[in-house]
Amino acid sequence: MKYYLGLDVGGTNFAAGIIDENYRVIEKTSVPAGAGRSIEEITADMANVSLEVVKKAGLDISDFTSWGIGMPSYVNPRTNLLVHANCFGWKNAPIYSYLERHIPLPIYIENDANCAALGETLAGGAKGYENVLMLTLGTGLGGGIILNKKIYAGADMMGAELGHTKLVYNGAACTCGQHGCAEAYCSATALIRQAKEALEREPESLMVGLCDGDISKLEAKTVFDAMKQGDDTARQVIEQYIDYLSCAISSFVVIFRPEIIILGGGVANAGEILRRPLQERLLVNTYAGSEIGVPDIKIAECGNDAGLIGAAMLEKYGMNRNQK
């Protein structure tokens, strides 16, 4: 049995895991990320939690042929520098030179959303498919594309930033510094903003009561819960959100024609109340949808393990151009 070592790096936690050749997580552990510290301290913890999970599994680092890491950024293949990890405040960070000090294995680094897409393709909702589009509807809008069972990231490994495609010309400000990005309309953060804007017009909405009168506590789940209880303002907010999301996805479908679409992230936890109307709207909004159809939309199945599985399997299914 061959085993694979993966690390999923987030702004809150680092999750390390051992994956077997059947894409099962046989051991995992996590530690707080501790953002705000030096790159030396943070990368040392990335290595330490990975070595810890190897020990917990009763294995030795020599049992592995690579270390796969999912990061909230990209590595520039021309410079081998990590381009921009917002959660740590890193820009053009020499990530490999720090990590190589701790673990003597070839290192594969890939964007975390791409890793999640790969994990869902190998072991989750997209298992059995080779051409997959995945969106993670969380604080931001992550996107991953799998073509022929391989991560697609373009000629310079910087592609598939689906959240930063333009949806509205000169629209709402995005965290990337641009305006009108899909992320500014289709993320959980965007849904919360849209709900708060609606509450300025309709302060009697049930959403206010569900967050104990403090709209600073309003979450994406609050909007869906209010809609389930018959709140008309919440219904209008979600219908508008689904309109935005279906338009963004329709563009991705026209370009890539995936076999299936996977939705992950916190908003996707709404399940069928989101998926079913989104599927219907996608059919209407997509070029030639009525003639050739649109891919089915499914909710992700691997949860937080998707990125971990994908990271561990980068040696086998990644682009392998940013291996160091």
Give the closest residue to 114 by CA, choosing from 8, 233, 245: 8
Spatial separation of the C-alpha atoms in residues 287 and 303, rounded to whole Å: 31
So what's the pLDDT on residue 136? 94
* Amino acid in position 145: I
Give 168's contacts (C-beta < 8 A, 6+ positions apart): 180, 184, 185
Give 255's contacts (C-beta < 8 A, 6+ positions apart): none
Give 303's contacts (C-beta < 8 A, 6+ positions apart): none
SS3 for 113-167 is: HHHHHHHHHHHCCCCCCCCEEEEEECCCEEEEEEECCEECCCCCCCCCCHHHCEC
Question: CA of 121: how far to CAs of 151, 287, 315, in Å?
Answer: 10, 25, 15
- State if pTM tops 0.85: yes
Tokens of 269: 């936890």
136-143-312 Cα angle (round to 5) = 85
Tokens of 155: 């000629």
> Which pLDDT tens digits describe the chain residue by residue (324 residues)?
899 999 999 888 999 999 999 999 999 999 999 988 999 999 999 999 999 999 999 999 999 999 999 998 888 888 889 888 878 989 999 999 999 999 999 999 999 999 999 999 999 999 999 999 999 999 899 999 999 989 998 888 788 899 999 999 999 999 889 999 999 999 999 999 999 999 999 999 999 999 999 999 999 999 999 999 999 999 999 999 999 999 999 999 999 999 999 999 999 999 999 999 999 999 999 999 999 999 999 999 999 899 999 999 999 987 654 555
